[in-house]
Structure 1
Amino acid sequence: MQATKFITALCTPLNEEDAIDVAGLETHIEDQLENGIDSLLVAGTMGFMQMLSMEAYLQLVAQSVRISGSRAELLVGVGDTGTSTTLARIRAVENLPIDGLVIISPYFLKFTQAELVDYFTDLADASKKPLFLYDLPRLTGTKLEISTVLTLSEHPNIHGIKCSDHFAQSRPLLEQQSDQFRVIIAQPTMLDVLLKAGVREHLDGVFGFAPHWIRDLQTALGNEDWFAVTQIQNQFNELLAAMQSIDASIFSTTSELLNLRGIPGRMAPKPLRLLSPPQQERFRSLPIVQQAISRAALACDVPQ
């Protein structure tokens, strides 16, 4: 059986001054590595690259390199609103020992497919590091069409794509994947179905919420225990539903959950608000939340 890879899109723990909470970042990364996650995305959508100051962004990447060492593949988000701004991000981090740069489609304005080809080609030509496309049309407002991705996949410095659109839109690309062009799927609510269908590369921030469940999932896959795989999938789906049941941003409940796991810092940059005390009490009382944190024996104080 082909090896399965789970890539965690890390959160960015911040202190009250919106600088990196280094202790929180270290605990977050170690939590992933200790549970068998061997590939990390730093400063992706879950990590709020676009809401970080350049100083905090550079600190995040440098500290992530230091903490992970050579123990994990390390991908870094650099996508911004246009060619010049994204290239500035690339230049800021490309001399660090990282494995690849992940570039979301430019946002704020809408671009034609020809302009997107120019955008990614120019960046791939200029970058010292391998590039990965990132298709997230529900946030960017622009879809990377299949024909555009296929054209870009021929560039020697474009090594893959993270697909966060509906799976039906991404499925044709799986036929084009190779050692030179990786197709990484972000569909955390249907992992069991995709794994059984042979899809082997998955990336999402959800994995960071309960990485011990991903460890259990890997074990179940190794045993070809599909009933257990489905049970674990149901746990993740129930946890996501619980996080969305609170009248607050999903990033606010993410911050609360990771704090409960012993990971300090706020994962919801300002002006996003953290949960109020009544919301905290309700969230913490949910059985699936207790289940998600019950195996997290992390020796770290949880900030209140």
Structure 2
Amino acid sequence: MNKLHGTGVALVTPFTATGAVDYAAWLRLLDFAITGGVDYLVINGTTGESPTVTASEKIELLARARQHVAGRVPLVYGIGGNDTAAVEGQLRSTDLTGVAAILSASPAYNKPSQAGLVAHYQRLADASPLPLLLYNVPGRTASNISADTTLKLAQHPNIIGIKEASGNVEQCLAILAGKPADFLFLSGDDMLTVPLIACGSQGIISVLANAFPQKFSDMTRAALAGDYARANELLHYFVPLNPLMYEESNPVGVKAALALQGVCEAAVRLPLVPASDGLTARIKALL
């Protein structure tokens, strides 16, 4: 799965001021990312506000992306949830034509044991018509996929990698040290991209790359090429920006940054609310 090395962007879902999906802005966002140099696109992840995007909207977003991107970069599609049988049904019923892999976040709220996580993902991997990427994000799901569990799941032939967003560097190193050579390790934390590449990561699925595709992609490529002087220079550019992306929850901050650049509106769906005037002003000052 070398085509999923480098920078993947966890795309936001653009909305109009009235809350409808803004499909014109969606196409602008796709082009903004691709011309900025990202290596692949991730659709319907948590940054895309997947809990509040309807099933029919998700189908339409994927269909329009497939047509508009037209093979220029790979597409990864998010299908996850806390009902294993329901997720299995979505994997079997969704038209995944043109999709390279599935990104599946671990179950939120249920707080399964490590044995439960293994059983959940093994069942999904058996059912999925496409390769599966694990997604560990304890800050959202309230449970952690341990390094031992990740390495156990890495033995499944249809589980090809992990987006690791625990923020636990020791856990990341344990996975990198023990994983099979062909198992993808992708950072889920933008600010750990460069250090984790230095330790063996193959790339990142990024939030910041929505609003800063060129700088972020250049940073990742420099790190993968071993040019850490250039990679660190770009990483340091993002140090003051990154916390603002999450201060009022993701994707509120990055949508404000996109709106300031004219790519899409800052609108989000309840229970999220758009960036406050103060946060927007601080993002604008850094831009």
1:86-235 map, 5 Å? 86-165=87-166, 166-178=168-180, 180-217=182-219, 220-221=222-223, 225-235=227-237
Instruction: With the length of structure 1 as denominator, give the TM-score of the two structures.
Output: 0.84
SS at match of 1:6: strand
Residues 265 and 63 of structure 1: CA distance in aligned 2, closer, same or farther (over 3 Å): farther
Shift of 1:279: 3.1
Structure 2 unpaired stretches of 5+:
none
Deviations 1:169-225 (A, max 9, x none): 121111344464211112321333333444332222112221121244256458854
Give the aligned partner of residue 254 of structure 1: 254
Q: Which has the larger radius of gyration?
A: 1
Residues 115 and 193 of structure 1: CA distance in aligned 2, closer, same or farther (over 3 Å): closer
Shift of 1:268: 2.3
CA contact (8 A) 1:94 1:128 kept: no
Shift of 1:10: 0.9
For 1:30 and 1:6, the matched residues in 2 are separated by 15
For 2:160 and 2:112, the matched residues in 1 are separated by 22
For 1:135 and 1:252, the matched residues in 2 are separated by 21
CA contact (8 A) 1:19 1:56 kept: no
Give the aligned partner of residue 270 of structure 2: 270
Shift of 1:265: 3.5
Look up the equivalent residue of 1:65 and give its one-letter code: R
CA contact (8 A) 1:192 1:229 kept: yes
Deviations 1:56-105 (A, max 9, x none): 11112222222222111211110111112212332343442201111111
CA contact (8 A) 1:163 1:183 kept: yes
CA contact (8 A) 2:187 2:196 kept: no
Give the aligned partner of residue 294 of structure 1: none
Query: What is the number of equivalent residue pairs in this alignment?
Result: 284
SS at match of 2:259: helix
Aligned residues: CA RMSD? 2.5
Instruction: With the length of structure 2 as denominator, give the TM-score of the two structures.
Output: 0.88
Residues 209 and 170 of structure 1: CA distance in aligned 2, closer, same or farther (over 3 Å): same
CA contact (8 A) 2:258 2:264 kept: yes
CA contact (8 A) 1:38 1:71 kept: no
For 1:8 and 1:78, the matched residues in 2 are separated by 16
SS at match of 2:160: strand
CA contact (8 A) 1:74 1:98 kept: yes
For 1:94 and 1:179, the matched residues in 2 are separated by 31
Give the aligned partner of residue 297 of structure 1: none
Give the aligned partner of residue 281 of structure 2: 282
CA contact (8 A) 1:110 1:142 kept: yes
For 2:29 and 2:125, the matched residues in 1 are separated by 30
Report which stretch shifted further, 205-214 or 169-178. 169-178
Deviations 1:224-259 (A, max 9, x none): 5433322211111121234456xx444322222111
Residues 27 and 54 of structure 1: CA distance in aligned 2, closer, same or farther (over 3 Å): same
Residues 87 and 222 of structure 1: CA distance in aligned 2, closer, same or farther (over 3 Å): closer
For 1:149 and 1:196, the matched residues in 2 are separated by 20
Report which stretch shifted further, 42-51 or 211-220. 211-220
